[in-house]
Amino acid sequence: MTELQLRDVLEQVRLGTLPVADAVGRLTAPPVSDLGYAQVDLDRKRRCGVPEVIFCEGKTPEWAEGVARRLIAAGQDCFGTRVSDSQAEHLKACFPAAEQDRLARTFWIPLPGLRPAPAGNVLILTAGTADLPVAQEAFVTARVLGCAAELIADVGVAGLHRLLRQREKMAAADVIIVVAGMDGALPSVVGGLADCPVIAVPTSIGYGAAFEGLAALLTMLNACSASVTVVNIDAGFKAGYAAALICKRLSEARQ
């Protein structure tokens, strides 16, 4: 731990915002926990404001469990993405109180106690119903990271009147996440209607020439609307994470 980090811990104890027991844990615990199959970053919450998130894809159920237990032991929230069916069953048996969302393929073990009021307002729009798994991942991520979030499905450009009915909600949002496959045109339209950042998420939905999301990705990268930025194909987690960071800064600026 650096001198600056030590001063930060001691100052939090002095102000009463950090319990002595938690301070002792921070001062004695290593910043990285070596589990053999994973190097768990226990310092990420202090550096980035969010604890390490478990990307479960490719891990055995036991590996996902081990990382989860280490984060919990360190007094941190435990959030996992891309949870398979077998992992979900295993984690449910190990952590029956955890919140699992099988559409989003996520699980969450929040720290006990009261959570702060939601910071910021994230609106998630999908072009079609088939985009819902990716959108739900963004929704859950934004909520876990402390934002108020709402998801509205099936408002794509094939029926623009459906989107125009949501003008008030778009105007009230701090960040809009737009999830779309096929031609990927919806984010550019939303960017032309809203005065906030728009995070576009291409999905691997569509017939052959959609190239498993590549066509939507290229459309979004070439969006006319200047407010549109783009994450990777099917990267709902990345969109929710980035939206939460934006909302956190906005909330701090408003206080």
CB 174, CB 208: distance < 8 Å: no
C-alpha dist (Å) from residue 153 to 4, 63, 80, 124, 216: 46, 34, 24, 8, 17
For position 74, what pLDDT does the model report?
A: 83
Report the C-alpha gap between 11 and 229 in whole angstroms. 38
b/e per residue, 20-58, with b = 16+ CB within 10 A? eeeeeebeeeeeebeeeebebebbbbeeeebbbbbebee
pLDDT-based confidence at residue 29 (cuts at 50, 70, 90):
low
pLDDT score of 162 more than 70: yes
For position 185, what pLDDT does the model report?
A: 95
pLDDT score of 125 more than 80: yes
Report the C-alpha gap between 239 and 231 in whole angstroms. 7
Mean pLDDT of 197-217: 96
Report the C-alpha gap between 17 and 1 in whole angstroms. 19
Helix or strand run (H / E) with residue 198: strand 198-202
For position 119, what pLDDT does the model report?
A: 86
Phi and psi torsions of 36, nearest 5°: 90, -55
For position 145, what pLDDT does the model report?
A: 94
Report the C-alpha gap between 145 and 148 in whole angstroms. 9
pLDDT-based confidence at residue 252 (cuts at 50, 70, 90):
confident
pLDDT score of 141 more than 60: yes
Q: What is the mean pLDDT of the chain?
A: 91
For position 1, what pLDDT does the model report?
A: 52
Report the C-alpha gap between 85 and 146 in whole angstroms. 26
For position 7, what pLDDT does the model report?
A: 80
pLDDT-based confidence at residue 21 (cuts at 50, 70, 90):
confident
CB 80, CB 61: distance < 8 Å: no
Domains in the chain, start-ordered, CATH in brackets? 27-109 (no CATH), 121-250 (3.40.50.1970)
The residue type at 95: F
Most confident of the ranges 34-48, 51-65, 113-127 = 51-65
pLDDT score of 113 more than 90: no
Report the percent of the chain where pLDDT is more than 90.
Answer: 71
Mean pLDDT of 196-221: 96
CB 243, CB 142: distance < 8 Å: yes
